[in-house]
Amino acid sequence: MTATDDRLDADLTAEDVAWDLETLVDGRGAEGVDDLLAAADALADRIAARRGQVAQLDAAGLDEVMREQAELHTLVGRAGSYAGLRFAVDTADAAVAALMQRVDERSTAIGTRLLFFDLEWAAVDDDHAERLLADERLAWCAHHLRNVRRYRDHLLSEPEERILTEKAATGRNAWSRLFSELTSAISVELPDGQGGTETAKLETALSRLADPDREVRRTAAEAVTAGLAPGLRTRAFVFNTLLHDKAVDDRLRSYATWLTSRNLANEATDESVEALVAAVRSRYDIPQRWYRLKADILGVDRIADYDRMSSVAESEAQIGWSAARELVLDSYRSFSPEMADIALRFFEESWIDAPVRPAKRPGAFCAYTVPDHHPYVMLNWTGRRRDVLTLAHELGHGLHAFLARDQGVFHQGTPLTLAETASVFGETVTFGQLLDATTDPGERLALLAESIEGAIATVFRQTAMNQFEAAVHTARREEGELSVDRFGELWASTQADMLGDAVEITEGYRTWWSYIPHFIGTPGYVYAYAYGQLLALSVYARYEEQGGDFVPRYLHLLSAGGSMPPEELGRIVGCDLADPGFWGAGLDIVQGQLEAAETAAHDAGRLR
């Protein structure tokens, strides 16, 4: 192989694209982590000296203690980000795992000493609290302080809170880490094209489900099922344990439903989330209509579950990292040069880790870290067009985090329901650039297919997964520990609700719930994808209507972070999140994409 071939191969796999985490700890590695935690520990002692005094604080005193807490969160956040991100790219490194556990244990110990503050603040008289929060000196943290008070009906006594917090390190946090290690170690034996097999990461195997060749997809799906079989009962036990742990926590804290605590964190009412889920379920005909169309395009009577993400392109060339980088940057530049300039820094300053590696966590994510640093993006790059849109998606998260840094540690992040706005928007802008540059009818069909399938995956599949979670949380509370078969039954039935008779659910697919981390680490998270997708589509529609005049309002929305309630954030860009019809409007946009795909299939002569 020549040097040129080596460079091309490195570009296709993005093997040299690794992040630099050392800036989080001033280049001092694990020693820097320990120093950050030591500084946080000393600061916690100063804050703890105010125990019993919170109700008597005036605005100046409350501002002072909140600034001390912000500094403490920054110190712990830097340490935790460094350890957690190192673990994400190498879950098999014992030293890194030990470092992450040390951070978890020490930060938990620090946090327990400060539990008194939220408890005392939640108990402050309403009139006094509102007088304090009206003071301009507290504007930088007022929304956060109001949110703390929303939990007062669910808080326990300080001794009880201390016990729950300290036991979390050896409880749910430990089980979640175990699940990450188990799933990161899953290997899949894939056909190597020469009559043998090759060992691959789960992520690589799943990417083959987009292959145009149905036999490749079928064998990849069978290989994934076989790869999931070892350790399946162990992963089911982890899930069972965390389901029961949450049931106990919900009972102790008097949460009405398994999802109420997540809704409270998302600043959403149970009723509004039920309305969202009901609206999406009422339009399950959209994915079913698409999958029937896809069967026609693929020339089969009915597709199987492993066909859903298949490319309808007649061939699919790999995309190198450098080409993807320029495409995404050009897309962001077409919307806002300022956003493109920020996105460029992710590439040039080693804020991205891209290649697939042994023991690397599957999937993709953006880590906000802390406001006085910068975000990071993790990918598992396989060189497919879908990966380009994933890059654009995660950079959207990164831009949101970067633009909201001035809001500070308490307001930089948004509720999960708004967390997908910038990512889906960035992905949609990139998709638009791809589509505009494509004139061949068959290639346009392939792009439109990816668009509608992305919407289906984010809106409808995530809602179906929400229904799976609802089913397993309910069953665990009513039936006791669930068997692997019971998990599979509930998974298949909730998927079948969405897919109807348009898709065959194979027997092997019944175990595919067992590698999804959201069910383990963030119960109830998944509906936020549907919320965020529909919101982002509505925001993008306003951009299409208003053009360049919309850009400043959009940048204002991102820069606001989580400094105000979701409804107020929505109003910045003209969205009324309290309107029940809002979800229907977003779903109409998805249906419009489906109709465009149907037209493209006809124009490309791909229908039987």
Give domain limits for the chain: 22-170, 187-228
For residue 254, pLDDT beyond 90: yes
More confident residue, 484 or 449: 484
pLDDT tens by residue, 156-201? 999 999 999 889 989 999 999 999 999 999 999 998 888 889 999 9
User: Which residues lie closer than 8 Å to 191 by C-beta, 6 or more apart?
Assistant: 197, 198, 216, 219, 223
User: Once rounded to an integer, what is the mean pLDDT over residues 470-485?
Assistant: 98
List own/partner pairs for 20-28 with CB under 8 A and 24 or more apart: 20/349, 20/350, 20/351, 21/81, 21/82, 21/85, 21/86, 21/376, 23/373, 24/78, 24/81, 24/82, 24/369, 24/373, 25/78, 25/79, 25/82
Between 3.10.20.600, 3.40.50.150, 3.40.50.300, 1.20.140.70, what CATH number should domain 22-170 receive?
1.20.140.70
For residue 263, pLDDT beyond 60: yes
For residue 317, pLDDT beyond 80: no
pLDDT tens by residue, 221-234? 999 999 999 999 99
Q: What is the per-residue pLDDT for 597?
A: 84
Q: What is the per-residue pLDDT for 215?
A: 94
- Beta strands 376-381 and 352-355 are parallel
pLDDT tens by residue, 540-567? 888 988 999 999 999 999 999 999 998 8
pLDDT tens by residue, 68-108? 999 999 999 999 999 999 999 999 999 999 999 999 999 99
CA distance 52 to 182: 44
> What is the pTM for the complete model shown?
0.81
For residue 7, pLDDT beyond 80: no
pLDDT tens by residue, 522-543? 999 899 889 888 888 888 888 9
- At residue 450 the predicted structure's pLDDT band, cuts being 50, 70 and 90, is confident
Which tokens sit at 161? 């809170």
Q: What is the per-residue pLDDT for 6?
A: 63
pLDDT > 90: what percent of the chain?
A: 74
Q: What is the per-residue pLDDT for 32?
A: 97
Give the three-class secondary structure for 321: helix
